[in-house]
């Protein structure tokens, strides 16, 4: 089971480095296109994305079938949300907006079967995302074969990040720069991170490394992802589908229209042509 979890294998390698992408738009063909782009993992976003329970189920299966790890960000720290994601076959879950060590312990318990946790048994679909292993084999391996990732994006979690990093069964501390910046009073503005936010991100990385965990972060471009990889982060989101789609379409349109000067020339040329045509039509 662990061998099928591409993200887990990457995180447990020497460098621990892995790159992923964010899926916010629905559709299994969309999921497959993302998964075939070379990323180690695709995160299906149920917190802020246009993803409902049915879409999540289908997307997880599609991503796993393409050889990437399907990761699901649930909407909150609720047992039933985590259970639905894992029973769909997610290789890991990301749980947002946690504040305390107790919150994290609860989150971990939702991802583990008794006696380590409180997850109910019913992996009819989940086992298919791990090479279609028998359900009872899934039960034996799931606690170690599934990744538990918590987001550090509140001032309370940041203040307690060293203790949070010590929680057994937790795999990754994942920094959410946008929410974290807002919560500590130093938000990202015009795409620039304040120094206090950079310090907070470095604090999360140190806490993870000092306690045998991995550190992850959400990025908005390949350049930014490379920068955080060089800093030592491990589970790195490179981009989100909606952002890349919009940026790619806009860039193509700008290229098609040409430069401002070229566009102005064509407009003027067209205007002259219209004047000439109207003159020929006069008696």
Domains of the chain listed by start with CATH number: 2-257 (3.20.20.60)
How far apart are alpha carbons 18 and 234 in whole angstroms?
6
List Cβ neighbours of 112 (8 Å cut-off, separation of 6 or more). 118, 119, 142, 143, 169
Of 48, 186, 234, 262, which residue is the catalytic one? 48
pLDDT of residue 4: 85
User: Phi and psi (nearest 5°) for 264?
Assistant: -65, -40
48 is catalytic: yes
| Contact call for residues 129 and 122 (beta carbons, < 8 A) | no
Which pLDDT does position 278 carry in this prediction? 52
Q: How many helices (H) and strands (E) does the chain have?
A: 13, 8
Q: What is the pLDDT of residue 274?
A: 55
Helix ranges (H only) for 89-176 are: 101-110, 135-145, 155-159, 161-164
Q: Residue 17, SS3?
A: coil
H/E element, 65: helix 53-65
- Which segments of the chain have a pLDDT < 70? 259-283
User: How many residues comprise the chain?
Assistant: 283
Q: What's the burial of 37, exposed, middle or buried (CB within 10 Å: 0-12/13-18/19+)?
A: middle
pLDDT at 269: 66
């Amino acid at each position: 089971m662990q061998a099928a979890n591409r993200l887990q294998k990457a995180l447990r390698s020497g460098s621990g480095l892995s790159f992923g992408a964010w899926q916010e738009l629905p559709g299994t063909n969309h999921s497959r296109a993302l998964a075939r782009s070379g990323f180690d993992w695709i995160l299906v976003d149920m917190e802020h994305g246009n993803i409902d329970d049915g879409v999540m189920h289908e997307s997880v299966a599609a991503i796993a079938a393409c050889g990437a790890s399907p990761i699901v960000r649930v909407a909150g720290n609720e047992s039933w949300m985590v259970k639905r994601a894992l029973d769909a076959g997610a290789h890991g879950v990301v749980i947002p907006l946690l504040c305390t060590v107790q919150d994290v312990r609860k989150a971990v318990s939702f991802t583990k079967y008794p006696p380590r946790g409180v997850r109910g048994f019913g992996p009819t679909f989940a086992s298919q995302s791990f090479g279609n292993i028998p359900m009872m084999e899934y039960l034996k391996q799931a606690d170690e074969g599934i990744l538990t990732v918590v987001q550090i994006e509140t001032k309370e979690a940041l203040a307690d990040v060293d203790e949070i990093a010590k929680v057994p069964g937790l795999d990754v501390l994942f920094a959410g720069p946008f929410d974290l910046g807002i919560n500590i009073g130093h938000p990202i503005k015009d795409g620039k991170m304040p120094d206090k936010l950079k310090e907070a991100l470095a604090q999360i990385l140190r806490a993870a490394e000092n306690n045998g965990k991995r550190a992850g972060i959400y990025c908005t471009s390949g350049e930014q992802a490379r920068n955080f990889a060089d800093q030592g982060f491990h589970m790195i989101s490179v981009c989100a589908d909606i952002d890349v789609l919009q940026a790619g379409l806009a860039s193509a349109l700008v290229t098609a229209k040409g430069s401002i000067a070229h566009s102005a020339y064509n407009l003027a040329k067209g205007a002259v042509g219209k004047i000439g045509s109207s003159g020929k039509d006069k008696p």
